[in-house]
C-alpha cells in the first residue's frame, strides 16, 4: 500500500464554480475539481494554487482551508491511500483554459446545482457543498472579495 497527498481548490468567480472535464483514453471520463500532487518543497497552499493554474489556467486567491477527503484506489495492483486537502478560492475572472497534456478537454464556471450534478466523485461533491456554504456565509457577511479578509 502506498500513500499519496494532493491539494486542490473549489474556485468561485461571481457565484459560479470552476469544473474541468477529463478524458483519458475513454477509460477515465468525467467532471472534476482541479487538484494535484504535492511536489518536493511545496506547502499545501502552494500546491493547490499551482494545480489550479496548471490544470485550468486560472489565477486564484486562497480564501480558506475547507477540509480533506480520503479515498483508496488501485494502480497496477498497488493500493493507493490518497488524501486531498481542499481550499476555497476566488478567481480573478471567468477565463479558464484546460490543460490538454493532462487530458483536460473542457473547463468552465457553472452555477452550484449544475457543478454539483456534473461532478463525478461523491467526495468532490461533498467538498463543493462545504465550500459553497462557506462562500454564501462570507458573501452574506460582506466578507467575500474583501481584501482585509485574506
Is pLDDT at 146 greater than 80 in this prediction?
A: no
Q: What is the pLDDT of residues 2-21, one digit of tens each?
A: 899 999 999 999 999 999 99
Give a yes or no: residue 125 inside a domain.
Answer: yes
Cα separation of 132 and 66, whole Å? Answer: 10
Give a yes or no: residue 147 inside a domain.
Answer: no
Give the range of the structural domain holding residue 92, as residue numbers without chain letter.
2-140
- Indicate the number of domains in the chain: 1
Buried b (16+ CB within 10 A) or exposed e, 84-112: bbbbbbbbeeeebebbeeeebeebbbbeb
Is pLDDT at 149 greater than 60 in this prediction?
A: no
Is pLDDT at 71 greater than 70 in this prediction?
A: yes
Confidence bin at 77 (pLDDT 50/70/90): confident
Give a yes or no: residue 130 inside a domain.
Answer: yes
Is pLDDT at 58 greater than 80 in this prediction?
A: yes
Confidence bin at 148 (pLDDT 50/70/90): low
Give a yes or no: residue 66 inside a domain.
Answer: yes
For residue 117, how many other CB atoms are within 10 A of its CB? 10
Asked whether 52 and 34 are in contact (CB, 8 A), the reply is yes
Is pLDDT at 79 greater than 80 in this prediction?
A: yes
Give a yes or no: residue 112 inside a domain.
Answer: yes
Give a yes or no: residue 145 inside a domain.
Answer: no
- Average pLDDT over every residue of 81-105: 94
| pLDDT at residue number 10 | 98
| pLDDT at residue number 36 | 96
Residues 6+ apart with CB under 8 A from 148: none
Give a yes or no: residue 149 inside a domain.
Answer: no
Cα separation of 82 and 37, whole Å? Answer: 10
Question: What are the φ/ψ torsions at residue 130 (nearest 5 degrees)?
Answer: -60, -45
**CATH code (residue 49):** 3.90.79.10
Give a yes or no: residue 150 inside a domain.
Answer: no
pTM for the whole structure: 0.92
pLDDT, greater one: 27 or 60? 60
Amino acid at each position: 500500500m502506498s500513500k499519496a497527498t494532493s491539494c486542490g481548490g473549489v474556485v468561485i468567480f461571481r457565484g459560479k464554480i470552476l469544473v474541468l472535464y477529463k478524458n483519458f483514453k475513454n477509460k477515465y471520463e468525467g467532471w472534476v475539481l482541479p487538484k494535484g500532487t504535492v511536489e518536493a518543497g511545496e506547502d499545501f497552499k502552494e500546491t493547490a494554487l499551482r494545480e489550479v493554474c496548471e490544470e485550468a489556467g486560472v489565477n486564484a486567491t486562497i480564501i480558506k482551508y475547507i477540509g480533506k477527503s480520503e479515498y483508496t484506489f488501485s494502480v497496477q495492483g498497488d493500493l493507493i491511500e490518497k488524501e486531498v486537502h481542499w481550499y476555497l478560492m476566488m478567481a480573478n475572472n471567468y477565463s479558464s483554459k484546460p490543460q490538454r497534456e493532462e487530458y483536460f478537454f473542457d473547463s468552465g464556471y457553472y452555477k452550484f446545482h449544475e457543478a454539483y450534478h456534473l461532478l463525478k466523485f461523491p467526495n468532490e461533491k461533498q467538498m463543493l457543498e462545504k465550500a459553497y456554504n462557506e462562500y454564501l456565509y462570507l458573501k452574506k457577511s460582506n466578507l467575500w472579495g474583501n481584501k482585509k479578509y485574506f
